[in-house]
């Protein structure tokens, strides 16, 4: 053992002594964007991998095509350095990774590419600009736009990856795609991505042992995005202290969800409006959703904890969806299972300026399970009417998951359907303008608790909460702000074991009501009326 430790120490010492800096100017790079410096920068990378060290990009503006990172190489951009991507597609060679994933053979290009590398990094105080607007595909074109647009960073099956400090701008596609990587660290980067379609901030896809900290991003498409397009799940991930803006979903798991997401902790996130308010290629300038958890391609979402989130801007604060799109990784591998979404905790969320109700939905026979929401306060725009009270909401089992997939919802706060063991605790729901709809609509819900909620209602509304085909539901310690005709309206023949206990309902004309000629097992006691 002592000999082994000594060998490791000697190896590390030798590595540090041999590691050196490789200035790209010494290899023929030119700080002139009319000159292509791809060969010079690549030559520096090729030399650097022999000893390990840094390829240094000094202050100045440089132009390059695809660069291939290699083992033990850090691409370091000094303060004042700007690395521009070429605007010519010919400067981005096609790459076909060995690894199997959904878009294999479709996505082919990147400005910075690494495959099966170890100990690689991109860092510094400089900027990388992909000039993504050069790769816009005209509307109506028959060209698959994924094939002719480069990522800015694409890393596949790499280990010990670090992206730190740099400013990333204007990708032709996703800004960063980390696919099947292990030990990934993304820290203190600043992303602005509004030059083309599919301009995500970052995509973490089938990665393990990931830390994303102190990052700021403003993207036309999704922000911090977790995807599952291969046989590997995203596992053991920490995200903290980030500021996000998105025209789509600021914080998202899915849509692509073949294997899944496990053991993920996210905290201290600020979601704010995008600075780009006059245009949008994907979504809307206001943004779609703050937090979106989606499982639709047969995978498993299990063990996700999200806390301390401030949301201002997106239309919908929270969207959770288990569906059955069943899109396979490749045509030969069919998806035969529905998948599951369970063990999620979302806490300490403050949201304002929301225009659409939140939703938490499974599909018939496949409920979402063990979802806990606590200490959440959301202010909605309001303005809804009773015309949607009895609206039949289609299941849309195989539809693309998006907050507006059900169109207008029959509530202003939360629409919850096909769930088991859900917990709502210390929830405050309010509206800027009067809304006649219930705050919450429940359907096909089993063994769930709603405690210490404060929900706003008005006399024109039919009820504060509507429940249909629910069993084993407890309402306790809740109160209504404003006047309401009825706290709980029970619809249909299949409501059983409903408990309404210890609520403050002196603003409610009725504690509960049922459809005529329907017998429901309700335990009602200890309420202040």
Max CA distance (Å), the chain: 88
HSE-up (13 A, CA, CB side) for residue 510: 13
Q: Can you name the CATH fold of 13-194?
A: Pectate Lyase C-like (2.160.20)
The pLDDT value recorded for residue 515 is 84
Angle at 150 between CA 39 and CA 48, to 5 degrees: 35
d(CA 446, CA 422): 8
The pLDDT value recorded for residue 9 is 43
Q: Within the chain, which residues score under 50 in pLDDT?
A: 1-2, 4-17
Say if CB 299 and CB 328 are below 8 A apart: no
Give the start-to-end residue ranges of the domains of the chain.
13-194, 356-529
Which residue in 334, 313, 442, 427 sits closest to 381, CA to CA?
313
The pLDDT value recorded for residue 13 is 44
Enumerate long-range contacts of 390-394, CB under 8 Å, 24 or more apart. 393/417, 393/443
| Full-model pTM | 0.95
Strands 176-179 and 151-156: parallel
- Whether residue 255 has a cis bond before it, omega within 30° of 0: yes
The pLDDT value recorded for residue 70 is 98
Neighbour tally for 452: CB within 10 Å: 17
The pLDDT value recorded for residue 157 is 98
């Amino acid at each position: 053992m002592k000999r082994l430790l000594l060998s490791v120490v000697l190896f590390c010492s030798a590595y540090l002594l041999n590691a050196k800096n490789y200035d790209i100017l010494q290899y023929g790079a030119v700080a002139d964007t009319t000159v292509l410096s791809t060969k010079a920068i690549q030559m520096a990378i090729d030399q650097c991998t022999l000893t390990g060290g840094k390829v240094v990009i000094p202050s100045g503006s440089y132009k390059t095509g695809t660069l291939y990172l290699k083992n033990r190489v850090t691409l370091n951009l000094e303060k004042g350095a700007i690395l521009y991507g070429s605007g010519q597609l010919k400067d981005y060679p096609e790459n076909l990774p060995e690894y199997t994933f959904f878009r294999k053979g479709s996505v082919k290009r990147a400005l910075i590419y690494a495959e099966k590398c170890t100990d690689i990094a991109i860092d510094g105080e400089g900027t990388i600009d992909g000039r993504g607007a050069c790769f816009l595909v005209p509307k109506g074109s028959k060209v698959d736009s994924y094939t002719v647009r480069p990522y800015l960073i694409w890393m596949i099956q790499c280990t010990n990856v670090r992206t730190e400090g740099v400013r990333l701008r204007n990708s032709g596609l996703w800004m960063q795609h980390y696919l099947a990587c292990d030990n990934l660290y993304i820290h203190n980067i600043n992303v602005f991505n509004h030059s083309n379609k599919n301009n995500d901030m970052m995509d973490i896809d089938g990665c393990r042992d990931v830390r994303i900290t102190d990052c700021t991003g403003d993207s036309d498409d999704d922000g911090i995005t977790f995807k599952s397009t291969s046989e590997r799940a995203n596992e053991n991930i920490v995200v903290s202290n980030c500021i996000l803006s998105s025209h789509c979903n600021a914080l998202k798991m899915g849509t692509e969800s073949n294997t899944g997401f496990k053991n993920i902790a996210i905290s201290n996130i600020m979601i704010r409006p995008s600075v780009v308010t006059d245009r949008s290629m994907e979504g809307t300038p206001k943004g779609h959703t703050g937090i979106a958890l989606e499982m639709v391609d047969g995978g498993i979402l299990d063990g996700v904890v999200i806390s301390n989130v401030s949301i201002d801007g997106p239309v919908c604060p929270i969207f959770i969806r288990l569906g059955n799109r069943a899109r396979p990784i490749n045509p030969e591998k069919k998806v035969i299972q529905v998948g599951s979404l369970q063990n999620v905790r979302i806490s300490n969320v403050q949201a304002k300026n929301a225009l659409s109700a939140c939703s938490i939905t499974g599909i018939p026979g496949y409920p979402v399970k063990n979802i806990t929401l606590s200490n959440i306060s959301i202010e909605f725009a309001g303005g809804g009417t009773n015309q949607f009270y009895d609206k039949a909401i289609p299941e849309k089992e195989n539809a693309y998951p998006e907050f507006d997939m059900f169109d207008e919802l029959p509530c202003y706060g939360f629409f919850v359907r096909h769930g088991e063991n859900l917990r709502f605790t210390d929830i405050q729901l309010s509206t800027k303008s009067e809304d006649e709809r219930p705050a919450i609509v429940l359907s096909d819900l089993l063994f769930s608790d709603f405690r210490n909620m404060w929900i706003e209602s008005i006399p024109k509304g039919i009820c504060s909460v509507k429940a249909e085909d629910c069993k084993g539901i407890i309402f306790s310690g809740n109160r209504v702000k404003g006047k309401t005709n009825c706290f709980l309206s029970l619809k249909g023949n299949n409501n059983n074991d409903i408990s309404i206990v210890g609520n403050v309902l002196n603003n409610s004309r009725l504690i509960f009501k049922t459809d005529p000629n329907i017998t429901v097992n309700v335990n009602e006691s200890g309420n202040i009326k």
